[in-house]
Amino acid sequence: MEADREEKFERQETPMKSRWIIHNDKRIFIADYSEHDNNLNALRVEVAAVIETLSQEPFDSVLALTDVHYTFATDVRSLTALLEDSFPKANPYIKKRAMIGLPECRRYLVPLFEPLTGSKQYRMFNRMRDALDWLASE
Protein backbone atom coordinates (compact mmCIF):
# COMPACT_ATOMS: atom_id res chain seq x y z
CA MET A 1 0.00 0.00 0.00
CA GLU A 2 2.84 2.40 0.88
CA ALA A 3 4.57 1.58 -2.41
CA ASP A 4 1.35 2.48 -4.26
CA ARG A 5 1.29 5.89 -2.58
CA GLU A 6 4.93 6.49 -3.44
CA GLU A 7 4.35 5.47 -7.04
CA LYS A 8 1.35 7.80 -7.34
CA PHE A 9 3.33 10.63 -5.77
CA GLU A 10 6.23 10.13 -8.18
CA ARG A 11 3.88 10.21 -11.17
CA GLN A 12 2.44 13.59 -10.20
CA GLU A 13 4.07 16.10 -12.50
CA THR A 14 3.60 19.77 -13.09
CA PRO A 15 2.86 20.81 -16.65
CA MET A 16 5.86 21.81 -18.71
CA LYS A 17 6.32 25.59 -18.76
CA SER A 18 8.30 25.50 -21.98
CA ARG A 19 6.31 25.97 -25.17
CA TRP A 20 6.25 26.72 -28.88
CA ILE A 21 5.35 30.17 -30.17
CA ILE A 22 5.19 31.87 -33.57
CA HIS A 23 7.14 35.12 -33.91
CA ASN A 24 7.43 36.92 -37.26
CA ASP A 25 6.17 33.78 -38.99
CA LYS A 26 8.90 31.62 -37.41
CA ARG A 27 8.27 28.73 -35.03
CA ILE A 28 10.35 29.29 -31.88
CA PHE A 29 10.69 27.07 -28.84
CA ILE A 30 10.79 28.84 -25.48
CA ALA A 31 12.78 26.72 -23.04
CA ASP A 32 11.26 28.28 -19.94
CA TYR A 33 13.52 27.68 -16.96
CA SER A 34 12.40 30.90 -15.28
CA GLU A 35 11.31 31.28 -11.66
CA HIS A 36 12.83 28.06 -10.40
CA ASP A 37 14.83 30.00 -7.81
CA ASN A 38 17.33 27.50 -6.43
CA ASN A 39 15.16 24.41 -7.06
CA LEU A 40 17.40 22.09 -9.09
CA ASN A 41 14.88 19.24 -8.92
CA ALA A 42 12.22 21.36 -10.65
CA LEU A 43 14.83 22.45 -13.17
CA ARG A 44 15.76 18.80 -13.85
CA VAL A 45 12.10 17.95 -14.52
CA GLU A 46 11.73 20.87 -16.94
CA VAL A 47 15.01 20.05 -18.71
CA ALA A 48 13.92 16.43 -19.20
CA ALA A 49 10.59 17.57 -20.65
CA VAL A 50 12.36 20.00 -22.99
CA ILE A 51 14.73 17.31 -24.25
CA GLU A 52 11.80 14.96 -24.85
CA THR A 53 9.99 17.69 -26.81
CA LEU A 54 13.03 18.64 -28.87
CA SER A 55 13.78 15.01 -29.69
CA GLN A 56 10.55 14.96 -31.73
CA GLU A 57 11.98 17.59 -34.10
CA PRO A 58 14.31 17.18 -37.08
CA PHE A 59 18.02 17.67 -36.43
CA ASP A 60 19.32 21.24 -36.74
CA SER A 61 15.84 22.74 -37.05
CA VAL A 62 14.87 24.39 -33.74
CA LEU A 63 15.11 28.11 -33.07
CA ALA A 64 15.29 28.17 -29.27
CA LEU A 65 15.03 30.88 -26.65
CA THR A 66 16.14 29.95 -23.14
CA ASP A 67 14.62 32.02 -20.32
CA VAL A 68 16.39 31.81 -16.95
CA HIS A 69 14.81 34.81 -15.16
CA TYR A 70 14.76 34.29 -11.38
CA THR A 71 16.55 30.97 -11.53
CA PHE A 72 19.89 30.54 -9.86
CA ALA A 73 21.90 27.74 -8.37
CA THR A 74 23.96 27.83 -5.24
CA ASP A 75 25.00 24.25 -6.00
CA VAL A 76 27.13 25.05 -9.03
CA ARG A 77 28.47 21.50 -9.31
CA SER A 78 24.98 20.04 -9.64
CA LEU A 79 23.99 22.72 -12.15
CA THR A 80 27.15 22.07 -14.17
CA ALA A 81 26.43 18.33 -14.16
CA LEU A 82 22.86 18.99 -15.33
CA LEU A 83 24.08 21.21 -18.17
CA GLU A 84 26.84 18.82 -19.18
CA ASP A 85 24.25 16.06 -19.39
CA SER A 86 21.50 18.04 -21.14
CA PHE A 87 23.35 20.10 -23.76
CA PRO A 88 24.57 17.10 -25.79
CA LYS A 89 21.03 15.70 -25.81
CA ALA A 90 19.43 18.95 -26.99
CA ASN A 91 22.15 20.29 -29.30
CA PRO A 92 21.44 18.03 -32.29
CA TYR A 93 18.00 19.62 -32.66
CA ILE A 94 19.05 23.27 -32.13
CA LYS A 95 19.74 25.47 -35.11
CA LYS A 96 20.07 28.80 -33.29
CA ARG A 97 19.87 29.62 -29.58
CA ALA A 98 19.28 32.82 -27.59
CA MET A 99 19.20 33.35 -23.84
CA ILE A 100 17.48 35.93 -21.67
CA GLY A 101 17.27 36.45 -17.94
CA LEU A 102 20.87 36.02 -16.88
CA PRO A 103 21.81 39.07 -14.81
CA GLU A 104 24.91 41.00 -15.83
CA CYS A 105 26.59 39.98 -12.56
CA ARG A 106 26.32 36.28 -13.53
CA ARG A 107 27.28 36.55 -17.19
CA TYR A 108 30.87 35.77 -16.29
CA LEU A 109 29.64 32.14 -16.16
CA VAL A 110 28.66 32.07 -19.84
CA PRO A 111 32.16 31.31 -21.20
CA LEU A 112 32.27 28.28 -18.91
CA PHE A 113 29.22 26.79 -20.62
CA GLU A 114 29.85 27.92 -24.20
CA PRO A 115 31.85 24.77 -25.05
CA LEU A 116 28.72 22.76 -24.22
CA THR A 117 26.66 24.57 -26.84
CA GLY A 118 28.82 23.21 -29.64
CA SER A 119 28.96 25.09 -32.90
CA LYS A 120 25.40 26.41 -32.64
CA GLN A 121 24.77 30.13 -33.04
CA TYR A 122 24.24 31.53 -29.54
CA ARG A 123 23.60 35.02 -28.14
CA MET A 124 22.62 36.63 -24.85
CA PHE A 125 19.91 39.30 -24.72
CA ASN A 126 18.40 41.56 -22.08
CA ARG A 127 14.96 41.67 -23.67
CA MET A 128 12.80 38.83 -24.97
CA ARG A 129 11.65 40.87 -27.98
CA ASP A 130 15.25 41.39 -29.14
CA ALA A 131 16.03 37.69 -28.70
CA LEU A 132 12.92 36.64 -30.64
CA ASP A 133 13.69 39.11 -33.44
CA TRP A 134 17.24 37.73 -33.72
CA LEU A 135 16.02 34.14 -33.80
CA ALA A 136 13.33 34.97 -36.38
CA SER A 137 15.89 36.69 -38.62
CA GLU A 138 16.97 33.19 -39.70
**Residue among 72, 132, 134, 58 at smallest CA distance from 103:** 72
18-22, 112-116, 117-121, range with greatest mean pLDDT: 18-22
Cα 61 to the center of its chain, rounded Å: 16
CATH code for the domain defined by 17-136? 3.30.750
List Cα–Cα distances, 26 to 13, 21, 44, 55, 80, in angstroms: 30, 8, 28, 19, 31
| Mean pLDDT, residues 24-35 taken together | 95
Average pLDDT, the chain: 83
pLDDT at 25 over 90: yes
The SS3 assignment for 41 reads: helix
